[in-house]
A and B are shown apart, each in its own frame.
Chain A
Amino acid sequence: MATVGRAALLIALLICAYGVIAAVYGALTGRREWVESARRSVYALAIALTVAFGILELAFLRSDFSFAVVAGHSSTSTPTFYKASAMWSSQEGSLLLWVWLLSLWSSLVVFLTRRRMREVVPWATAVLLGYGAFFTALLVFAVSPFDTLAQPPADGAGLNPLLRHPAMMIHPPMLYSGYTLFAIPFAFAVGALIAKRVDAEWIRSTRRFALGAWLVLGIGIILGARWSYNELGWGGYWAWDAVENASLMPWLTGTAFIHSVMIQEKRGMLKIWNVSLVLATGILCVLGTFLVRSGILDSIHAFGASTLGVPFVALIAGMSLGSIALVVWRRGLLRSEHRLDSLLSREAVFLLNNLVLVAMCFVVFWGTFFPLISEAVTGEETSVGPPWFSRYTVPLALILVLLSGIGPLIAWRRATATNLRRTFAIPVACGVVAFLALLFVPGVPQKPLALAMFALGAFVAGTVGQEIWRGTRARRAMTGEPLPLAVTSLVRRNRRRYGGYLVHLGIVVLFVGVAASSTFQTASDHRMSPGDTVRVDGYDVRYVRATAEVGNDPSGTGAMLSLGAVLDVSKDGRHVTTLRPARSFYPSNSTASGPVEWLVAGEPTSEVAVRSGPLKDFWTAVNPDMTRFQEVIDQGDKAVAADIPEMQQPMVAFRLLRDVIAPNYVENPPPAMFRMISSPLVAWIWIGSLIAIGGGLIALWPAPDAARRRATATLRARVAQDLGRA
């Protein structure tokens, strides 16, 4: 089967090469049949890559250890659910996933534009297939997923237990989908520049793709944050780690583009800016992909030093230089048609929003690459930490939130100044009321930035609420619909606007959650033995007893041993919750361990216990002191190795662990370190992101054809009157 996989990848590479040549030839000579063939090459690529992907995935599910990748990343003891996702925990598998997703989205796009943009599509196809050629070449010549082992091992290394979490199954595919989806606007921008078609049709299609990519990338980022919070033992959701930043940067420029392209749509302005944003976003996505798999920046994610650094740098350099050259070459085409009518217009607010977003992206970029920059400048590698990032991104985020509240209250082109007071009255009042009310909450006035975020959040909520209310009222005046129907039809007929408002609301709720949980967090570490009680943020936490589970992993990740604690949390004498944090131990993949040690020497993970509430999250993780436990294991190793014949050692070791060592831990537990974090409003981070995702879907949803035709017809009739008069 591996040979079929290898052949499929080689075929894929050949398809890409052919497709690029056919597309360019068809574009230059105007022979449509070659362009058609190139388009169909995209479909063929998807077919070939699906075959390769299917073979590899099947190998993982069947635990076929003759595949080197399977042996290195999965095992018979890995639960089935995680066997499937183990494929993309490997370098090769993740590259295959990336290019497979690229082929799928490219096929979709090529299908959707089969009758449109006939001059741009050939070049865009060439770019997309060029991407495909790069990645399949890597898979064929550098890191093949189909390398086989002459002597397949009896069992594999197993999936890194840190990755055994449902979010980790979806996080890479989501993130990669976001990255590959942004390749499409990039390809269409290149195509439009070459074909000299940077026009209304280009705007319409590109904005759609960019919005979809933005949504998917955003979901990927949030999933990563959630995984970090629920699975890792440090209790945070964002660390300004290089790889996190790498996914945030294209998302920021993508957000800027979605807004500024509307200015181009209405006024024919900012053409160079928009094209540059799209190209930059595409480049940043490849940069993000590169950062994860090279070792150039110290990060907990880094896959370790790899051989792929040089090809990626070449690709990024090529894309950057090519983009600059293209924009300079076509600068005549990108001249602005109009100027801003007035500073008091939504266009102006969008422009400011763009500046803030690009500034944020610059800050993140600078901080992320600072180790390399400082090394180049001063010869010494220096890095900046989260406090530095927060110092600059927080004020920028505050400005962004302010703008997202102002924007909806100002009309396009030129707002009526005299109406401003009436329009701003209620939202500003909301903000002021929130500000004054929070002044009385203990601890809040001392944190002006958080207070500002809360007040601005109320302001934005007021804006969105007022907009929905006023729009509904106007609609009811016209049609007399009952309230719920009026709201839904208002949103349905103005998806872009109201979907956007909802996204703003969601993002602001998210920021409020971030502000509250990071500013007012109480985190502490405690060394406790059973019976001890500590006080954390008004809660009394009592260590009731220790637990030890062998072979029966309550979290479903296939852990061999789980040492935990039962914590009783109460407040003012009333029982609040019972938390069961644990530390899970997995079998090791090394043969150098003793028989008992082998069962538990793999990567340990923390099973975090969180109680989430609308107002507060109480988060705990436990780290048992292993010194005494290690001694007991060593004793067990010696005993088993000495007295038991080799064949029976695993079974005896297991029984020893289960019947003697584990119960001994429960009866006689050593003190354990507990990390306890009480943070307010964490749940609102996830709720806010759900609201934003909902808003994005609404904005993205195409209007049903019938409704669109009706709307066009009424307008056409009205405009036709003028046409007749003209």
Chain B
Amino acid sequence: MDPARKRRFRLVAALTAALVLAGGLVYTSFSAGSPAKTPSELLASAEPGGSYKLTGKVVEGSIRHEGDTLLFSVRDRDGTTSVPVSYTGSVPDPFREGREIIVTVSRGAGDTFVAEKDSLVTKCPSKFEAEDDAASDMS
């Protein structure tokens, strides 16, 4: 094979490999992800066995400890539909009532949701929201 054809062959091989890998990546990402759902969406469409990223605000007064488990409820950002969650694992520092959180859950018995360990993420309150949050906490 003369050098020019060899080079072109190499280029085609490399591009094909790249496309195959990229394709594999793209394909697996769609099946590996967890869809984001609000509490009302979760109640409506959560399938047993599926894992979802629940986003919403922690309901005031709902935080309880039972042994090693943390129990709290999550509600829609602008609404009252809420979902009870039972969580184990590390609790981020900003976690408190009224804060926006993201936690990976799957359906447990009945309408309860069990969280994946250590999957709780609390949004750092925007500096300008902090005052409103604090006011709502203390009521």
Contacts and interface: CB of A to CB of B under 8 A. Distances in A.
A and B touch in the complex (CB under 8 A): yes
Interface of A: 72-73, 89-91, 157, 160, 162, 232-235, 298-305, 339, 355, 359, 362-363, 366-367, 370-371, 374, 377-378, 380-385, 387-388, 392, 525, 527, 588-590, 592-594, 597, 601-606, 621, 623, 625, 627, 673, 675
A378 B29 CA distance: 12
A382 B89 CA distance: 23
A588 B125 CA distance: 14
B123 A384 contact: no
Contact of A590 (B18, B89, B124, B134): B134
User: What are the nearest 5 A-B pairs in CB distance?
Assistant: A304-B126, A590-B134, A382-B33, A381-B36, A592-B138
B36 A366 contact: no
Nearest to A527: B68
A234 B90 CA distance: 6
A593 B18 CA distance: 59
Contacts of B124: 160, 162, 300-302
Given A592-B134, A604-B93, A304 B129 contact: yes
Nearest to B55: A298
A72 B26 CA distance: 43
B33 A623 contact: no
A621 B89 CA distance: 12
B13 interface: no
A370 B90 contact: no
B29 to A, nearest CB: 6
B12 interface: no
Interface string B26-70: 101110111110000000000000000101000000000101100
Contacts of A366: 25-26, 29
Interface in B90-131: 90-94, 102, 104, 118-119, 121-131
Nearest to B33: A382
A419 B14 CA distance: 28
B92 A234 contact: yes
A445 to B, nearest CB: 27
Interface residues of B, number: 48
A232 B34 CA distance: 25
Given A73-B127, A162-B124, A232 B92 contact: yes
Question: By DSSP majority rule, is chain B's interface helix, strand, loop, or mixed?
Answer: mixed
Contacts of B14: 355
Contact of B138 (A157, A162, A597): A597
Contact of B91 (A233, A362, A374): A233
A359 B123 contact: no
Given A301-B124, A382-B30, A601-B137, 6 more contacts: A91-B127, A300-B121, A339-B7, A374-B35, A525-B68, A525-B89
Given A339-B7, A370-B29, A589-B131, A303 B94 contact: no
Interface of B: 3, 7, 14, 18, 21-22, 25-26, 28-30, 32-36, 53, 55, 65, 67-68, 88-94, 102, 104, 118-119, 121-131, 134-135, 137-139
A552 B127 CA distance: 26
A604 B94 CA distance: 7
A382 B36 contact: yes
Contacts of A381: 35-36
A355 B21 CA distance: 12
Contacts of A355: 14, 18
Contact of A300 (B55, B88, B122): B122
A589 B123 CA distance: 19
12 contacts: A157-B127, A303-B127, A339-B3, A359-B18, A366-B26, A371-B36, A382-B30, A382-B53, A388-B29, A588-B134, A605-B93, A623-B91
A194 B128 CA distance: 44
A420 B28 CA distance: 40
A362 B18 CA distance: 11
B99 to A, nearest CB: 10
Nearest to A68: B128
Nearest to A675: B90
A378 B30 contact: yes
B110 to A, nearest CB: 25
Contacts of B126: 302-305
B138 A590 contact: yes
A584 to B, nearest CB: 9
Interface centre among B14, B18, B93 (most CB of A within 10 A): B93
B46 to A, nearest CB: 13
B47 to A, nearest CB: 13
A72 B119 CA distance: 31
B94 A162 contact: yes
Contacts of A601: 134, 137-138
Contacts of B127: 72-73, 89-91, 157, 160, 303
